[in-house]
Amino acid sequence: MAKTKTTKKKPASKTAGMSDAAVRAKTGKTWPQWIKVLDAAGCRKMNHKEIVAVLTQEYRKMGGWWIQMVTVGYEQARGLREKHQKPEGYEIGVSKTIAVSVSKAFDAWRDARTRNRWLPGAAIEIRKATRNKSMRITWSDQKTSVDANFYAKGAGKCQIAVQHRKLTNARQAAAKKAFWAKALGRLIEILEA
């Protein structure tokens, strides 16, 4: 019996959390092509706004969101920006789908007693809440902000998406990403019990 040779598939290149295939489908270029174009335009020595201006001038039809995505991807690829880094600090996002209604999940955030069961010791200030949609929160440290968004995902299911913003460095961002993954895991255990 003849052996068949298996070849390992080369992993797709990913920058800014976006694969080559996805960025090519929306912009017409892969990450290596964008890096080559932006290098040729002198973007290695430019700040974020200047790179956006270059893209806006030449690739306006791409739209603002994709111009920002290509800029951030380029900055990360060239070491001009770290993962999770934003102009106002670092930002992470974590989301989980949970087998409860949006209103039950929202109430678990809103009610201090329930919240303390899955987010113990967090002295948060809810600045703004839109019932069953979102919360804007000042975190316990009084320096960082948390956005919690709630999305219905069919009968008796919802998704909770958490963004923690204004973190000071990559280490804190990684720690908060792990923190929120665990916290949302505890929330799921409590609400789905």
Answer for the pair 101, 108: CB distance below 8 angstroms, yes or no. no
**Beta strands at 14-15 and 85-86: parallel, antiparallel or unpaired:** unpaired
Predicted local confidence at residue 30, as pLDDT: 92
CA distance 190 to 118: 7
Q: What is the pLDDT of residues 177-192, one digit of tens each?
A: 999 999 999 999 999 9
CA distance 185 to 193: 12
Q: What is the pLDDT of residues 12-62, one digit of tens each?
A: 455 666 788 888 998 999 999 999 999 999 999 998 899 999 999 999 898
* Phi, psi of 128, rounded to the nearest 5 degrees: -150, 135
Pick from 112, 111, 42: nearest CA to 74: 42
Q: How high is the mean pLDDT of the chain?
A: 88
CA distance 112 to 108: 8
Which superfamily, per CATH, for 85-192?
A: START domain (3.30.530.20)
Other CB atoms within 10 A of residue 7 CB = 5
CA distance 149 to 23: 26
Q: In the chain, where are the structural domains located?
A: 15-77, 85-192
C-alpha count within 13 angstroms, C-beta hemisphere, residue 176: 24
